[in-house]
Amino acid sequence: MLKTLGITVVLPALTFSATWGFTPPSKVIPNLDTLSLISEQAGEKKQPRNIIFNPHHTLGFVSLKQEVSEAENKDNFQRLIEVAIARHLYQLSMGEIIQAIAEEFLGKAYKAGLLDKSTQETLTISLTEFDCVLFVETVLAIARNLALQDYSYQTFTNHIRNQRYLNGQLDGYCSRLHYFSVWIDDNQKRGTIKNIVPELGGIFLKKKLNFMSTHRHRYRRLRDNDANYRCIVEMEANLDPVSIDYIPHSQIRNTYSLLQPGDIIGIATNISGLDVTHTGLVYRFPDGNLGLIHASPIGEVTIARDLHRYVGNVNNAIGILVARPLDPRFLSPVNQ
């Protein structure tokens, strides 16, 4: 990992192994980017159904890092942009751009805890490995660049900052939008996305979000940092109560005709104190079926063949949150 100009660059892994056959702890507590391992029926490798994996802690991961310069990281970004330009992606709809960019990351490694490596909050950027939220943020940021035909790396990092932090301002650990329903609300206020669950006929529930403060020992940046813990407690108190719009699992297939490629999906959970356990993007196959392209804890960016079936195989899932990225070409400059 290399830090320059306040940006943490996550560098390509020379070796990566995720040993899912090991005997895990009897209970691994989840948080924002959590997914209980799914079965073969969801279009991925078969895994035990009773494991809940917490991606903010390393379990069975081995990764060697090679430091590269910020210039080399920019080169990786530029190569991706050049591919997108050659394919004329800027001519597509916003959703189609998002799906095309997401496909470019297929096979890239899943990696836990990327945003919590440093003891200080820095802007972590990765184009080589992802957790599920980092994947969504990265694809959305690049798509916004392409839609505007703005190929600047600085604009890309600005998009990441604006999406990740409250009011788009990086101001320490607690400024990060840790709960995904809050991430949706904050980005909607600033014109990046739109919560479309009400249009899809969803329902809402009120929920107290306090999982982080009640499971302090599970969070690397909270365990031994009283200041971070106090501000998380305050943040959660200010949120209470939260109204979460979601589509019940039984109704997901009924929304297929209304969903678009690139729509942002959060998997809602019945776990106390938590809103969402995993995220991804709607993927439309040539035959019209809808799947989920996501950074999977199974080990890499992959596509689940059927969204409804996938959600049904996630432990504790009750349905989905859905947000639609707004096309910056049709927004005022302040929201671009």
Amino acid at 41: Q
Residue 112 contacts residue 134 (beta carbons within 8 Å) = no
The domain in which residue 14 lies consists of 2-335
Integer Cα distance of 55 and 181 in angstroms: 18
Angle at 107 between CA 325 and CA 137, to 5 degrees: 25
Predicted local confidence at residue 45, as pLDDT: 43
Residue 117: other Cβ atoms inside 10 A: 15
Q: With 60 as the cut, is the pLDDT of residue 243 above it?
A: yes
**What percent of the chain shows pLDDT beyond 70?**
77
pLDDT digits (tens, 9 = 90+) for 116-133: 988 999 999 999 989 999
More confident residue, 102 or 18: 102
Residue 213, pLDDT above cutoff 70? yes
pLDDT one-digit tens code per residue, 61-98: 333 344 435 676 788 899 999 999 999 999 999 999 99
Q: Where are the beta strands (DSSP E) in 190-239?
A: 193-195, 203-207
- Indicate which CATH number applies to the domain containing 126: 1.10.3670.10
- Quick one: average pLDDT of 168-194? 98
Residue 327 CB neighbours (<10 A): 16
CB count in 10 Å sphere of residue 305: 16
Q: How many domains does the chain have?
A: 1
Q: How confident is the model at residue 7 (pLDDT cuts 50, 70, 90)?
A: low
Average pLDDT in the chain: 83
Can you tell me whether residue 183 is helix, strand or coil? helix
Instruction: Enumerate residues 6+ apart whose C-beta is below 8 A from 29.
Output: 52, 54, 215, 218
Q: What is the pLDDT of residues 246-272, one digit of tens each?
A: 999 999 999 999 999 999 999 999 999
* pLDDT at residue 313 greater than cutoff 90: yes
202 φ/ψ angles, rounded to the nearest 5 degrees: -75, 180
End-to-end CA distance of the chain: 30
Nearest Cα to 276, choosing from 216, 237, 323? 323
Instruction: Give the up-direction half-sphere exposure of residue 171: CA atoms within 13 A in the CB hemisphere.
Output: 6
